[in-house]
Amino acid sequence: MPGVRARSTAGLVAAVSLTLAAGVWAADCTQPTELIVRVRATSCEDVTSTTITVGTRTSVDERPPSASRTACDPSSGEIGSLVLVPSGAEDGEVYVRVVTGIRVSAETCTAPAFAGCVVAKRSLRYVRGQSVIVEVTIDPQCRDVQCGPGGTCSGGRCVSDEDGGALVDGGARDGSDGPADSGLDADAAVPVKCEDVCDAGTCVSGRCEITCTAAKCAQGATCPAGVPCKVSCLANDSCPGTIRCVGATSCDIRCTGDRTCEKVECDTPGPCNVECNGNTSCGTGVVCRGASCDLTCDRNDSCPGTFDCKATGRCKADCDGDRACEGLVTCAAATCDIQCKRNGTCKGGVRADAGTSTVRCAGDRMTCEGDVQCVGGSCAGGCMGMACMNSFCCDAGTCDAGGLRVGCP
């Protein structure tokens, strides 16, 4: 198979433009001192293309890509590999940046935002006389997550860009007899200062606080990665776009004005608290990933869209206004707690898949009209009044309809 090697000095690499064949950027075993950068994705879904650029920490954003590839093997996540060999000192340093486009082309993602892309960076050093394999994992959770100097994204949060996943001679890490992992050391956290990343807001006790106006947040607002974040949309029409909190350590989003926060996306290693308390606030819906998510919709017609929660811990939706949470509520978490308390709430129905699910429907016939469907460990329903006419379809380990009509539509 044809391939091209990228040769580097201690910090300077001549750009080589090529397209990979059969998942390999380059293959050449004639030099004993080399770095083999292997790129894999946790999921090939929506992966469009990938580029890899080699340079120094300060120059890599100014250099053209050294290699590119459009394929991703869905069975293994394999994207490709690139071999680097020194043309100067055999113990020199080199810096690698991998950019993968998620539903966009990697070539369209440019510094500093790299919008729509996952960016993975590694600070590496050659080992004289050894072939060192470096695993780079592309995780869609890192889409649009940018970390400060010395950092890169792994699992949706900022960690060190130092080589924590290198293998030696195609086997164990240097000095280790055990298998290597496929990414960075998740414990090598890079401290991120709020003042360094909170460009759109103000730092208050280490938290980035963004207060929106219609002019300031016309296209929405994005929380910076690595620090806690709060976004406030308090006036009518103040946040007509999407509020994104992905990669922050925790997030508090308040959409209390009418027609605020068209969509909310929250994915943090800490809690996500989302309040949509205006008329048609959070209009399209709320998407939550990460550790936990609490959604409050306690005004009439608040949260007319969907609620999709796939947290590792608790998902809670408190729908306490007429026609609140009107769209489909989907919950897949350790614990799901869905409270549909007023007329027309959760009209689109509830789909729960959790260790423990609780779904309460207390309103008119349109409350939970799309029915309650449960799988998972256990599911408990509950109802009052006309809402009890709606069905409870349960295939969990333990089921308790709580007054809802048992049966699957």
Long-range contacts of 117-120 (CB under 8 A, 24+ apart): 117/143, 117/144, 118/142, 118/143, 118/145, 118/153, 119/145, 119/146, 119/152, 119/153, 120/39, 120/152, 120/153, 120/154
Complete DSSP assignment for 183-248: S--TT-BPP--HHHH-SSSEEETTEEEEE--TTTTTTEEEPPTTS-EEEEE-STTS--SEEEEESS
What is the structure's pLDDT at 9? 32
Same domain (yes/no): 101, 207? no
Complete DSSP assignment for 150-173: TEEEETTEEEE-B--SEEETTSSP
Helix (H) or strand (E) holding 290: strand 285-297
pLDDT in tens, the chain (409 residues): 222 334 433 322 333 322 333 344 443 444 468 888 889 898 898 899 999 988 887 778 888 888 888 888 888 888 888 888 876 677 788 889 999 999 888 888 888 778 889 999 988 888 888 878 888 889 888 888 877 777 888 877 787 887 433 333 333 333 333 333 333 333 333 457 888 888 889 999 989 999 998 888 888 898 987 789 999 998 898 888 899 888 788 999 999 889 899 899 998 888 999 999 889 999 899 999 878 999 999 899 999 999 999 888 899 999 998 999 999 999 998 899 999 999 999 999 999 999 999 999 998 999 999 999 999 999 999 999 999 999 999 999 999 999 999 988 7
Same domain (yes/no): 251, 315? yes
CA distance 220 to 250: 18
Q: Using alpha carbons, select from 266, 234, 232 the residue that is nearest to residue 251.
A: 266
Cβ contact 408:391 at 8 Å: yes
What is the structure's pLDDT at 166? 38
Cβ contact 257:277 at 8 Å: no
Is residue 182, in this structure, part of any structural domain at all? no
CA distances from 354 to 107, 292, 310, 395, 407 (A): 39, 13, 9, 12, 20
Same domain (yes/no): 19, 94? yes
Cβ contact 238:212 at 8 Å: yes
Structural domain of residue 267, as residue ranges? 194-406
Is residue 30, in this structure, part of any structural domain at all? yes
Cβ contact 211:232 at 8 Å: yes
Is residue 189, in this structure, part of any structural domain at all? no
Is residue 135, in this structure, part of any structural domain at all? yes
Same domain (yes/no): 339, 383? yes
Same domain (yes/no): 343, 258? yes
Is residue 178, in this structure, part of any structural domain at all? no
Same domain (yes/no): 268, 126? no
DSSP one-letter code for 13 = B
What is the structure's pLDDT at 398? 94
Same domain (yes/no): 234, 348? yes
What is the structure's pLDDT at 23? 40
DSSP one-letter code for 3 = -
- How many domains are contained in the chain? 2
User: What is the Rg, in whole angstroms, of the alpha carbon atoms belonging to the chain?
Assistant: 24
| Sequence-distant (≥ 6) Cβ neighbours of residue 262 within 8 angstroms | 220, 239, 240, 241, 242, 282, 283, 284
Same domain (yes/no): 137, 47? yes
Is residue 173, in this structure, part of any structural domain at all? no
Phi, psi for residue 195 in degrees, rounded to 5: -65, -25
Domain boundary among 168, 185, 205: 168
Is residue 103, in this structure, part of any structural domain at all? yes
Measured at the alpha carbon of residue 108, what is the angle toward residues 107 and 110, in degrees to the nearest 5? 95
Residue with tokens 């879904």: 45
Same domain (yes/no): 152, 208? no
What is the structure's pLDDT at 164? 39
What is the structure's pLDDT at 405? 92
Domain boundary among 134, 168, 202: 168
Cβ contact 171:137 at 8 Å: no
Is residue 1, in this structure, part of any structural domain at all? no
CA distance 139 to 77: 10
Same domain (yes/no): 96, 54? yes
Same domain (yes/no): 156, 208? no
Q: Using alpha carbons, select from 328, 316, 322 the residue that is nearest to residue 345.
A: 322
pTM above 0.75, yes or no: no
What is the structure's pLDDT at 191? 54
Question: How many C-beta atoms lie closer than 10 Å to residue 39's C-beta?
Answer: 27
Instruction: Specify whether the backbone of 12 is left (phi greater than 0), alpha (psi in -120 to 50) or beta.
Output: beta
Same domain (yes/no): 57, 198? no
What is the structure's pLDDT at 13? 30
Complete DSSP assignment for 33-99: SEEEEEEEES--TTEEEEEEEEE-TTTGGGSPPSEEE----TTT-EEEEEEEEESS-TT-EEEEEEE
What is the structure's pLDDT at 114? 85
DSSP one-letter code for 143 = T
